[in-house]
Amino acid sequence: MSRHPDRLRSADLHADYRSDRCDLVRDFYVPALNAAASYDRAVGYFSASVLAVLGQGLEDFAARGGMMRIIASPQLTADDVEQIHAGYELRAVLEQAAARDLEQAAQDPRAASGLGKLGLLIADGRLDIKLAYISSHDRVGMYHEKIGIFRDGHDLVAFKGSANETMPGLVGNFESIEVFRTWEPGDRSRAVRISQDFEDLWEDRTPLLRVIDFSAAAHTVIQRCVQSTAGKLELPLLDGALITLPRPEASGRLAIPAELTVRDYQKQAVERWFAQGGRGILRMATGTGKTLTALSAAAQLTRMLQKRDQGLLTLVIAPYQHLVDQWCKDIAWFGVQPIRAYESTGSWYGKASSLLDALALGSAQGGVLVTTNATFAAGPLQSILTRHRGRLLVIADECHNLGAKRLREKLPESASYRLGLSATPERWFDDQGTAALTEYFGDIVFEMGIGDAIRAGALCHYNYTPVLVELDDEEAYLYAEVTEKIAKIIAAQGFSNDADNDSPLGQLLRRRSNILGHARAKLPALLREITARRNDWYQLLYCAEGRHPLACEGGDPDEPTQLQQALAMVGTQLRMPAAPYTAETKRPERQYLLRQFATGTQLQVLLSMKCLDEGVDVPAARTAYLLASSSNPRQFIQRRGRVLRKAPGKERADIVDFIVVPPSAASDLQHETERRMVARELARVTEFARLADNEAHTLDILRPLRLRYALMDT
């Protein structure tokens, strides 16, 4: 994305446009698209044909990574209304109507290139579509408003008028629109109001209206439309260029996309998995392409079984819904529209049953089912797996999670082929769970650590800055008290592997970790570090979970959390655009925040606790502040990998790690307790410094601390 926050001001946009005086597409839409970083549109009717009309303006917009959001109203027929009155599910009827609009558009040769572009934008995660309808007093009606907003990261241009987002609406009809620009004093309030109206629509906060997501359903319809054309679709654009869409594999067989370059190490990983009979675990660093490697293996397996006239059901298990969505996007690229199995059973169970029937009858040679850990372990999906009698491939993303007893017992023994993926497959303090994973998936057949990935150019180089902060007297006293209780339990019963659960020992270990994570001296240190980088974009800030232990134990119950304090510091005190990304952040808002963060012009700092640990793709991130990090290697390795992902224009990353040390003055901590505390912190520091470009400088910073506690070998 080009970083020119004043592009819209330079586009020479007028206050109004009318068909008798200008060409709406040439004089308004194309210049605005050429200048914008994002385009939001809410209209009574949207057609894929408009994407062909917008031509080169849309091509340039898409090439720069532009983001689009569309809200439209489906065209309801008399039959649709009758179905609603008869009690059919309203959402299903609306999706049916909107899908019909898309399929009708596919019949128009002028719309073909627009339909193809629509599919590519959705698949690339840069276009979201929602449906709006009136829902009031048992009445379902059409949303007929027409507003739009262009943004460049600094200014916005809002417009409203008569034109629908259709080919006739922009070309054939007589239309007019009024334009409001935030840099014009008389326009600003109306522009901001229209922008807020759109946000209220998008978040379904508008009285009388209801807004539902349609992106996934739209993608399915588009794939079906593309399938109806044999071979390839050559879609002429207005400028004479050709865009070629591969025909999705109608039989459900995965195929490696022609445009995908599989790296040598990914090929080696696939070969080693096959050499072990299609079983094994790939230990690959975050950012090295585990998903594409796994799908390449699945595609090769599909081709091998095809020669034997055997079908294959592929089951992908991922920890969270957003990871399922990411997998589905990549699977669609490999030519198969997967079934997403999460949330309402009714939304996927029938489709999964039909797929099993098709595989059994031979009318399909393959299919992919993608689910969350929670849905995988539940009865409906387990019954699907029990019914399947053919070949089964299980791919487990972040497979270490499946070592938990409640999940590993559900893994299907009928799976002939098994592939586990994780940067850290060993379970923390759970040898039994780790052994169960190896027993099911097989041994680790390929390893690609962060150091190897950096040397191979798959991840970027980084600098590491440890920042030493001291516990205050209250924190030191509490730390010593908790450590003494831990020592007594270990002396009485030994160190138990259930320490990671809710055992007394596990609770004490987490409590002690929270003392370090919430150390109050971290926030003043953060202020110094982030002030020095206040002009930099793409910054992640990892905070401690929950509240300060002292606030929970007789302290101030209203004391803000560390995340709240950090957000106030960054957003209010330093006036840096910032937002939290937590478990409470709704999924649509998460996607919106990630898009804003990726622009490099809208959201400067993203603050999180654990939600960015597994699977969230933020390759643009260049700086990570680790205010809190557990001693579990999985967490800090994942966080490092998150910021080392490659991205255009990204040469290197910076990791700023806040290391807690005992007070320099006398405290309640015993020397041996101090020494062990420092040793635990240095374990992470040593791992981070080992591969950093500035390793020697890092060692110099820590040398006095190592000498003080006789930890030169740590």
The last residue of one of the domains, among 245, 277, 306, is: 245
Number of domains in the chain: 3
d(C-alpha 408, C-alpha 389), whole Å: 21
In a domain, 301, yes or no: yes
Q: Does 621 have pLDDT greater than 60?
A: yes
Q: What's the whole-number average pLDDT of the chain?
A: 80
- Once rounded to an integer, what is the mean pLDDT over residues 119-127? 66
**Percentage, residues of the chain above pLDDT 70:** 76
CA pair distance 224, 279, nearest whole angstrom:
33
d(CA 34, CA 66): 10
Question: Are 283 and 227 contained in the same domain?
Answer: no
Rounded average pLDDT over 294-310: 93
pLDDT at 444: 95
Around Cβ 2, how many Cβ atoms within 10 Å? 17
**Average pLDDT for 177-203:** 92
In a domain, 212, yes or no: yes
238 and 270 share a domain? no
Q: For residue 714, tell me if it sits in a domain.
A: no
The whole-number average pLDDT for the span 368-372 is 96
Judged against a pLDDT cut of 50, whether residue 50 lies above it is answered with no
Whether residue 591 has pLDDT greater than 70: yes
Kindly tell me if the per-residue pLDDT of 132 is higher than 90. no
pLDDT digits (tens, 9 = 90+) for 376-430: 999 999 999 998 989 999 999 999 989 888 999 999 999 999 999 998 888 876 7
- Mean pLDDT of the region 188-197: 94
103 and 170 housed in the same domain: yes
The pLDDT assigned to 167 comes to: 44
Asked if 573 and 529 sit in the same domain, the reply is yes
Give the pLDDT score at 242: 26
What is the extent of the structural domain holding 145? 9-245
Residue matched to tokens 């048992």: 138
First to last CA, the chain: 43
Among 553-557, 607-611, 710-714, top mean pLDDT goes to 607-611
Give the pLDDT of residue 244: 31
Tokens found for residue 586? 């709704």
pLDDT > 70? residue 465: yes
* pLDDT number for residue 209: 81
Please report whether residue 61 resides in a domain. yes
pLDDT, residue 240, reads: 28
Q: What is the pLDDT of residue 470?
A: 92
Q: Read off the pLDDT band of 611 (50, 70, 90).
A: low
* H or E stretch covering 270: helix 264-275
Cβ–Cβ under 8 Å, residues 81 and 75: no
What six digits make up the tokens of 54? 């917008």
Is residue 196 a part of any domain in this protein?
yes
- Whether 225 and 314 share a structural domain: no
Looking at per-residue pLDDT, the higher value among 64 and 158 belongs to 158
638 and 558 in a common domain: yes
Of the candidate ranges 103-117, 237-251, 442-456, 512-526, the one whose mean pLDDT is the lowest: 237-251
**Higher-confidence position of 109 and 304:** 304
* Exposure string over 46-78, b if 16+ CB within 10 A, otherwise e: bbbbbbbbbbebbbebbeebbbbbbbbbbebee
Same-domain pairing of 60 and 209: yes
pTM score: 0.60
Residue 3 domain flag: no
- Indicate whether 254 belongs to any domain: no
CB atoms within 10 A of CB 655: 22
pLDDT by residue (tens digit) across 552-563? 776 677 789 999
